[in-house]
Structure 1
Amino acid sequence: MRPDGYLKTAWIMTVLFSIILPLHSQTPRQFSIELKDKPLPAALKLIEKEGGKNIIFSYNETESYRVTASIRQKTELEAIGTVLNGTPFICKEREEYFVIQKKGKNVPTTEIRGQVTNEKNEPLPYSNVLLLTPGDSTFVNGCVTREDGSFLMIAEEGIPYLIRVSYIGYKTEVQPYHPTPTFHLLPDTQLMQEVTISARRPMIEVGPNGLKANVAGTSLARMGSAAEMLPHLPFVTGRNGEYNVMGCGSPVIYINNKKVRDMTELERIRANEILSAEVITTPGAEYASDVAAVIRLHTIRRRGQGLSGHFNTTYSQGHSANANEYMALNYRTDGLDLFVKGYLAQQNSYGKTTNMNRIKGSAIWQTNKNDVQTHKSQRFSGELGFNYEPDEHHSFGLRYMPETGIGNADRNSSGRTVTRRNDEETDRINFTTAEQTHTGWDHAANAYYAGELG
């Protein structure tokens, strides 16, 4: 072939590839997933993961719907249409994301595009961003920032929302609504004190199904108990044993592969005993179909020989006092770890209710009710067991966990109901109720083996 003919052919091929390749890259990706009785928010998160384009929706509106569907070689838009079939929701596609909203809901919406940086103007990825109502700070929507510190949320127009941003080791900042807010978070010097970095590794690592937070050696380890640390993780909100993973719902929590059934167990574990925490937003097939999110805590394997101990107490005073005491003893020798733990909780509560009911007819009837409720209880739980590591490839252990109430749990209520007709008293009732309950012993045992073969 002549040189000029070769150049002409090469030029034609270059032009063809420049046309074909962009067309190919713009072809929506097709995928297949099986959904069996999945909560709708969890189904949308799985589709978002496979399709790659963000899906923005309200968890509060979608959480009560469940999905069973077989999605075979569909695009992200087609998959969304499949899971929304039979629900009161529709999908609207934007250039960068999909929006899920109720049918017939024509409320105008607006985008909130913001940026979160630190004191050095460096991006803070995986910061928690919450959209709150202005009056009572009720949670409306939420997300986490991207790698570049940016975030995107959808909100109804005309409402003066508050935007709350938090990041591990930095002071939380709250700003009034703005369509393009910028947050510059300052370090929380109290939390950052005594934090030692033992290795040059990121605090947050991205995994195939969520995020992993390295706790040991970071400000997370100074959060007190595991229960106090959890709300500081990316995607996680809540407190007092009631947690929520944004866009997913209530998570199932594991500690070293053991499912947490009593949330007070999180109060008994100190944050500085935790090595890492995983927040799984798209649980895989190894979890039950109704599991919308998972948090897995991995504790530090203690090294050293001899006897050690730990004691912790907390006290709070409102109308009544509440206290918790925790004590642990541990003995280690040649790979054998023996432990005994005790936890005592004293709980007191006080509540006062005032109720007025007014009916207007031929006469005006009004009933006023005043009620005072008190509750007192004490509870003990313990843990006894061992871990044994004969070598670096094998380990096994057993733990026994008893729990019981101490004495009686007392619940009392007293008050008065007064009924008036045209401001004239017609009836007056004084009432008092008292209830005492006593629970026996609850027993639980857990055994494990972890090893490598070959």
Structure 2
Amino acid sequence: MKQFITSLLILCLATGNLLAQEIKGKVSDKEGKPLPYATIKAIALPDSATIVGGVTKEDGTFALSIGDHKLPILLQASLIGYSNEQVLCKDLKEHTLTLSESATMLEEVAITANRVSHRLVAGGLSTQIDGSPLSKLTDIYSVLRGIPLVEVENDKVKVTGKGTPVIYINDRLMTDPNQMRELKPYLIKDIQVITNPGAKYSSSVGAVIKIYTRREPGSGLSGNLEGRLSKIKGCKLGYGTYFSFNYRKDNWDFFMNSWNGAWRGISITDDATFIGKVGQNEWTNTSSIVSKFGGNNHNLTFGVNYSDDLQSAGVQYRLSANNEFLTGEAKLISSLQQNKPLYSFTEESKPWIYAHRPSLYYLRKIGNWKTQIDIDYYESTKTEKTTTTKRGYTEAYELKALKGRSGDKYQSAGARLDIDGPL
């Protein structure tokens, strides 16, 4: 019995060590000086999926838990102002990565002694943007690329090893992607990346990005107009226009912005031939498919904010409208049907769907305490989808069309009271 218990304990310890595999190391520059707050990624091979991510400590050291992932894995270090470095890890010994200083920092912003400043906060890391080289960049997405643990592809933001984050701007949940586009780098004070969200967030939230800004100085009128043309994989062509309007007067801020986009595409599948045999009879089937698809998307947001040194409040209204369509035509020629073509036509469309979203908030600072109230309402028209299917042996489709219809209507309301402060 004692031998069994001893063997069981040894097995549990061995299993625990296997599941707690940890890769340690250090990141430094060519002179051997440690580089704090460098992003470290453990990448699985051969699929190149990120296992886990982290940042180096003040002394440049790091420790990443890779669980039961098999070696070798690829270890990658990156830091703004330095070229990326990779090393192949075949064992769990400590690894050293040496980064070479780059001639430029991000989009042609020269490296100076004024380095980007970082500090640890509860659950994550805060990066000071105000006064740093990042504040000189052209847009918020370029700024985010310089933040440890943040990955940006076009306008899609992810946190290394944590997926898509929830984003807050001045402690307000971002509900409209256009809010990101409106941010000006020179007005951003700091950005926090929370990789271990607390109990105040949903259990489904893997990471949080908090962006804090300051008001544009002075009063006056400003605006922005831009257009976009994109070509996406799958023969899809998209275009859109965006404009914003802002008027500031003392502590008041009146705003309006609009996004209008559309995309169209066509997909042509080359002829496919299938050959088979049933008993003594051979058969040949040849098929081809042509699909056309597209959609439209429009958003309009307007509102007003008020802020002073102790409090801020605001109300906004957002109206969105979108629709989609899809048509597909397939042709099948089969020797079993005496080579007579069989046509199939499917059309799927959604009528215009309108959504309304009014919201308001109030935030008040009392000493070291902060109280915030948020109220939101959302309602959409019925998301109805109509599908029409025709099949027949002529292009006019001899058989009767079959129609199907389905859809839902969404409506929700919510309020939140958040109180933060030291105990």
Instruction: Give the TM-score band, short-chain normalised.
Output: 0.5 to 0.7
Matched, 1:311 2:228: no
| Unaligned ranges ≥5, structure 1 | 1-88, 101-108
What is the distance in 1 between the residues matched to 2:311 and 2:85?
45
What is the distance in 2 between the residues matched to 1:324 and 1:171?
35
Q: Greater RCO between the two (CA within 8 Å, min separation 6)?
A: 1
Matched, 1:168 2:80: yes
Matched, 1:233 2:147: yes
CA contact (8 A) 1:311 1:327 kept: yes
1:106-134 deviation per Cα after TM superposition (whole angstroms, max 9, x unaligned): xxx8x755543346543332222334466
What is the distance in 1 between the residues matched to 2:76 and 2:266?
30
- Give the alignment partner of residue 325 of structure 1, picking from 229, 242, 251: 242
1:11 aligned partner: none
CA contact (8 A) 1:255 1:298 kept: yes
What is the distance in 2 between the residues matched to 1:415 and 1:436?
18
Give the number of the structure whose residues are more often helix, by fraction. 1
2:101 aligned partner: 186
Aligned CA-pair RMSD: 4.1
CA contact (8 A) 2:43 2:75 kept: yes
1:334-391 deviation per Cα after TM superposition (whole angstroms, max 9, x unaligned): xx222213132323253636486958563566564434343232413223203132xx
1:352 aligned partner: 267
Aligned residue pair count? 344
1:282 aligned partner: 196
CA contact (8 A) 1:323 1:347 kept: yes
2:50 aligned partner: 139
What is the distance in 1 between the residues matched to 2:14 and 2:339?
59
Q: TM-score, normalised by structure 1?
A: 0.62
- Give the alignment partner of residue 33 of structure 2, picking from 114, 117, 122: 122
Aligned in 2, Cα 1:238/1:303: closer, same or farther, shift over 3 Å? closer
Distance apart, 1:438 and its partner CA: 1.6
2:312 aligned partner: 396
2:354 aligned partner: 440
What is the distance in 2 between the residues matched to 1:237 and 1:410?
30
What is the distance in 2 between the residues matched to 1:301 and 1:114?
42
Aligned in 2, Cα 1:222/1:309: closer, same or farther, shift over 3 Å? same
Aligned in 2, Cα 1:316/1:290: closer, same or farther, shift over 3 Å? same
User: Which has the higher mean CA deviation after the structures are superposed, 293-302 or 115-124?
Assistant: 115-124
Distance apart, 1:205 and its partner CA: 0.6
Distance apart, 1:215 and its partner CA: 1.9
- What secondary structure does 1:267 align onto? helix
Q: TM-score, normalised by structure 2?
A: 0.65
Aligned in 2, Cα 1:191/1:201: closer, same or farther, shift over 3 Å? closer
CA contact (8 A) 1:112 1:178 kept: no
1:36-435 to 2 correspondence within 5 Å?
92-94=15-17, 99=19, 113-118=24-29, 121-132=32-43, 137-153=48-64, 154=66, 162-173=74-85, 180=95, 182-187=97-102, 189=104, 191=106, 203-222=117-136, 224-227=138-141, 229-230=143-144, 232-237=146-151, 239=153, 243-304=157-218, 306-318=219-231, 320-333=237-250, 336-350=251-265, 352=267, 354=269, 362=278, 366=285, 368-389=287-308, 392=309, 394-405=310-321, 409-420=323-334, 425=339, 427-429=341-343, 431=345, 433=347, 435=349
What is the distance in 2 between the residues matched to 1:250 and 1:273?
24
Aligned in 2, Cα 1:246/1:409: closer, same or farther, shift over 3 Å? same
What is the distance in 2 between the residues matched to 1:243 and 1:424?
55
Aligned in 2, Cα 1:430/1:285: closer, same or farther, shift over 3 Å? closer
Distance apart, 1:400 and its partner CA: 1.2
Give the number of the structure whose residues are more often strand, by fraction. 2
Distance apart, 1:206 and its partner CA: 0.7
What is the distance in 2 between the residues matched to 1:90 and 1:288?
34
What is the distance in 2 between the residues matched to 1:274 and 1:202?
13
Distance apart, 1:415 and its partner CA: 3.8
- What secondary structure does 1:440 align onto? strand
Distance apart, 1:292 and its partner CA: 3.2
What is the distance in 2 between the residues matched to 1:279 and 1:354?
44
User: Which has the higher mean CA deviation after the structures are superposed, 348-357 or 124-133?
Assistant: 348-357
**1:166 aligned partner, one-letter code:** S
What is the distance in 2 between the residues matched to 1:357 and 1:91?
55
| Unaligned ranges ≥5, structure 2 | 1-11, 369-423
